[in-house]
Amino acid sequence: MKYRSTRGGVSGLTFSQAVMMGLASDGGLLVPESIPDVSARLADWQGLSYPELASQVMSPFVGDIDQTVFKNLVLTSYKNFQHPDVAPLVNVGGVQILELFHGPTLAFKDIALQFLGELFSHILTEQDKVLNILGATSGDTGSAAIAGVRGKPGIRIFIMFPDGRTSPIQERQMTTVLDDNVFNLSIDGSFDDCQNLLKTVFNDLSFKETYALGAVNSVNWARVLAQVVYYFWTWFQLKQPAEFDVAVPTGNFGNIFAGFIAKRMGLPLRKLVLATNENDILARFFQSGVYERGEVRFSNSPAMDIQVASNFERYLFYQLGENAIDCAAFMNRFQTEQCAELAQPEGFFDWFTADAVTDAETLKSIQGIWREFNYLADPHTAVGFHLAQKHRDPNVPMVCLATAHPAKFDDTVETAIPGVTNHHPSLDALLGLQTRKTAIKDDPEVLKEFIRARC
């Protein structure tokens, strides 16, 4: 399998080259040259464990890593999950909730980032190289990325987060990691500001090459690929229905784009319900075909407080018939005018049902799920569950992805359900630990100088 950029300036990369490049050197995102149809192989995958299934689903996209070696990398990636199924399915009021938060940092990002950490280590060892990871997080990506690479030889990680805009627990999960190869950087601004810094620095190709920068954000194809797996896993846990729908709490579009890829691979997934909060740029796009940036609204579901979804460009590439010229023109227009529109929103556009939830509705959803079904949900899962119920077809199984353990958002859950017990031992253990972070300006030159000084 070879990889190319959505903007046409990069092609012919191996899987390992794509993983190490992260963001394409022409400013686009890397995608496979083809998407394999695995529908004829589904029967052979029945009964596999999660790690075994992950190896099978991802293998067609790899090609340049020995199959036995790759399988062992995948098996190692899931050894630290707290549930034997990795991602169990729980029936809550007729909606099936897929719990993706049983990894080391209690968030769905662990599913991909434990794998990516093992993958980076393997490639760096094989090539005798070093890697400086630069990432931006709205909360969960940072801690999951750090957990995936902390202490690993040949890797440094620099994680930017919007100061005061993650939950206190999310910040502690990052800043209590004191390993010498971990650097946490707080930015006075929004996640979009952090993401813009990341892209600006990555687009300085000379700096990127000199300091061997790599990405752990969902701009890295391997992140998306690992997330494709749990859509197949869900179908098998549902006993292989003729079709099913999935409601996906959506911020950066990586989680739901993985579902799009799974459907392209032949999984009988009917609809993807794009669930977002008041930062509704994606909901508005799928309702109108207009992609228009607004002001970031800070909410109770902070991982979705995003106005520029980094994985949207990958979807756009396929929506535009894999036309890199049209894709680049659309993204350049959006960059300069803050607004771009699809001329004919057809085809893949119809695979999505998109909707937004207010902050008040999010709190009511947390409260309602608890009172009606005795199930505690974090605010992002509550957004997804609210829209799963709203858009549910009684004749088609509906799944909601649970993206984080509720204890990671204890303040919001307490607001919705005063007095509820909401703890997790691994989070309680963070209280009182020493923390370390560095505040830096929202300035790419300042960020580059910080990296230079530590490399």
Q: What is the pLDDT of residues 336-373, one digit of tens each?
A: 999 999 987 777 999 999 999 999 999 999 999 999 99
Q: What are phi and psi of 224, to 5 degrees?
A: -65, -45
364 in Cβ contact with 385 (< 8 Å):
no
Q: How many CB atoms lie within 10 A of CB 278?
A: 20
d(CA 168, CA 302): 12
Instruction: Give percent of the chain with pLDDT exceeding 70.
Output: 100
Q: Which position has the token pair 């190289």?
A: 129
Q: Which position has the token pair 């391997």?
A: 222
Q: What are phi and psi of 399, to 5 degrees?
A: -115, 140
| Catalytic residue ranges | 109
Q: Which position has the token pair 């799944």?
A: 399
pLDDT of residue 347: 78
pLDDT of residue 191: 85
pLDDT of residue 99: 98
In whole angstroms, how far apart are CA 407 and each of 173, 190, 226, 420? 12, 23, 25, 11
pTM, two decimal places? 0.93
Domain spans, the chain: 89-104+222-423
Q: What is the pLDDT of residues 305-321, one digit of tens each?
A: 888 898 999 999 999 99
Q: What is the pLDDT of residues 22-77, one digit of tens each?
A: 889 999 999 999 999 999 999 999 999 999 999 999 999 999 999 999 999 999 99
Q: Which position has the token pair 């227009």?
A: 333
pLDDT of residue 269: 98
d(CA 219, CA 5): 11
149 in Cβ contact with 157 (< 8 Å):
yes
The amino acid that residue 198 corresponds to is L
d(CA 312, CA 319): 10
Question: In this predicted model, which residue has the larger pLDDT, 6 or 215?
Answer: 6
DSSP letters along 148-202, please? HHTT-TTEEEEEEEETT-S-HHHHHHHHT---TTEEEEEESS-HHHHHHHHHHHH
122: which 2 tokens? 């393997």
CATH code for the part of the protein at 89-104+222-423: 3.40.50.1100
Question: In this predicted model, which residue has the larger pLDDT, 450 or 347?
Answer: 450
Mean pLDDT of 241-262: 96
328 in Cβ contact with 7 (< 8 Å):
yes
Q: What is the pLDDT of residues 80-134, one digit of tens each?
A: 999 999 999 999 999 999 999 999 999 999 999 999 999 999 999 999 999 999 9
Mean pLDDT of 286-313: 91
d(CA 327, CA 43): 36
